[in-house]
């Protein structure tokens, strides 16, 4: 490996999250809609419930709970679009790359030969909006290779592709 002199910081542009010659495929922007909807449903529900409780009990400070919750969910809702935009994956010849996160960023490299099985799942809301989630499993529980927000045909294509590539490069453990 390149033994850089550890003293100085490198130019911040060439981050480790943008490997050279990788064509990233973003996930569907419908994922943002789904996530917003989920936040609205769950978050809104929770806010309403806590507000009702506060109104019934009658302590003024109890209103702080729905207020804080509402602020948190609003903050989350504001971030959703950027988070979804940061989600991307790339198929290389021998491995799958998944990138996610803005504040806490992560780049995962999963070799096809290490894949044990692939999950494709879609909840009722996801189905309604025409997206699905593809998840790769290796023998390591630490591998978090989940790609949410794929159009169903893309998810199916990716699943078959991963399965066939995994078989071609099959290794033991």
Which spans of this chain sit near another protein (rule: CB under 8 A)?
A: 1-4, 6-7, 9-10, 12, 14-17, 19, 94-95, 103-111, 113-114, 138-145, 170-173
- The distance of closest approach from Cβ of residue 155 to another protein in the complex, given in angstroms and rounded to an integer, is 20
- The distance of closest approach from Cβ of residue 92 to another protein in the complex, given in angstroms and rounded to an integer, is 9
- The distance of closest approach from Cβ of residue 147 to another protein in the complex, given in angstroms and rounded to an integer, is 14
> Of the two residues 43 and 112, which places its CB atom closer to another protein in the complex?
112
What distance in Å separates the CA atoms of residue 66 and residue 4, rounded to the nearest whole number?
51
SS3 56: helix
Which strands sit side by side in the sheet containing 25-26, from one edge to the other?
25-26, 88-91, 95-100
Instruction: Tell which residue, 48, 87, 101, 98, has the closest CA to residue 70.
Output: 48
Task: Give, as one character, the DSSP assignment of residue 113.
Answer: G
> Of the two residues 15 and 44, which places its CB atom closer to another protein in the complex?
15
- The distance of closest approach from Cβ of residue 113 to another protein in the complex, given in angstroms and rounded to an integer, is 6
What distance in Å separates the CA atoms of residue 106 and residue 116, rounded to the nearest whole number?
22
Do 22 and 97 meet the contact criterion of CB atoms below 8 Å apart? yes
> Of the two residues 34 and 136, which places its CB atom closer to another protein in the complex?
136
Do 84 and 102 meet the contact criterion of CB atoms below 8 Å apart? no
Instruction: Tell which residue, 1, 5, 2, 84, has the closest CA to residue 37.
Output: 84
> Of the two residues 42 and 117, which places its CB atom closer to another protein in the complex?
117
- The distance of closest approach from Cβ of residue 31 to another protein in the complex, given in angstroms and rounded to an integer, is 21
158: Cβ contacts below 8 Å, ≥ 6 apart: 91, 134, 147, 150
> Of the two residues 119 and 144, which places its CB atom closer to another protein in the complex?
144
């Amino acid at each position: 490996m390149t033994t850089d002199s550890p003293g100085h910081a490198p130019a911040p542009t060439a981050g480790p999250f943008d490997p050279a010659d990788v064509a990233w495929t973003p996930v569907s922007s419908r994922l943002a809609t789904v996530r917003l909807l989920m936040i609205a449903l769950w978050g809104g529900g929770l806010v309403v419930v806590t507000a009702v409780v506060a109104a019934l009990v009658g302590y003024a400070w109890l209103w702080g709970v729905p207020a804080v919750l509402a602020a948190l969910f609003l903050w989350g809702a504001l971030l959703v679009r950027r988070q979804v935009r940061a989600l991307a994956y790339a198929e290389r010849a021998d491995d799958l790359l998944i990138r996610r996160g803005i504040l806490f960023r992560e780049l995962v490299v999963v070799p096809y030969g290490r894949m044990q099985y692939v999950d494709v799942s879609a909840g009722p809301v996801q189905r309604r909006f025409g997206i699905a989630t593809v998840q790769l499993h290796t023998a390591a529980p630490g591998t978090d290779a989940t790609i949410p927000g794929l159009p169903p045909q893309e998810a199916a294509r990716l699943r078959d592709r991963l399965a066939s590539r995994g078989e071609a490069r099959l290794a033991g453990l």
